[in-house]
Amino acid sequence: MTPVLVALTMTVIGLLVPLAVLRRRDVLLRSKEQAYRFHELRDRLQILNAEGKIQPESIGYSFLMFSLNVAIKNAGVMSLSDMLQMSRAVKKKAEYITFEQIAEDFRKQSEEAQILSAEFFRSLTLMLISNDHLVRFTFTLAQPLAGKVNHAAVNLATSAARFLVPKHTEVIYEARQYQRWEKALAPG
């Protein structure tokens, strides 16, 4: 009996250690990938500024530079509470100015600046949904069902989620808001 128990314990330990290593590597790779994405967007914004395709004194430029710096600082390793705090900081900046003013400013800028602003919100959406397994699963499940499911069922599921996992639900709402902003800022 003792050799079986020892063998079972060693097997469990043998499985858990590689999973822990893979989990740590997943977090590290996600962090690096997100930081790289936001650095690349900030570099492109600065190139557009240098080429005169966006005015550095514009509302859109200052909003995007502020938001990219916040995202770079917080890429990859944020807890759910930190993600919500970062998202609120970006939204607070947007509300201080109003999103309509930002969108109107980007419509006056070059098409490259409009594309860059839309890509920023897409990247922010991806960061919000990818850093938490439950949020990623829920968002992945909700996307194909949107518009196909009875609204009463959606409302019931939403109410249950708000009660059971309020922070996770809030992150999903934030991500959906950023998706709407991405579509509003995309040229065409």
What does the alpha-carbon distance between residue 87 and residue 123 come to, in Å, rounded to a whole number?
12
pLDDT at 125 exceeding the cut of 60: yes
pLDDT in tens, 80-112: 666 667 667 776 766 667 778 888 888 888 889
Tally the residues of the chain. Answer: 188
What does the alpha-carbon distance between residue 116 and residue 186 come to, in Å, rounded to a whole number?
9
pLDDT in tens, 30-87: 777 888 888 999 999 999 999 999 888 988 898 889 888 888 877 665 666 666 676 6
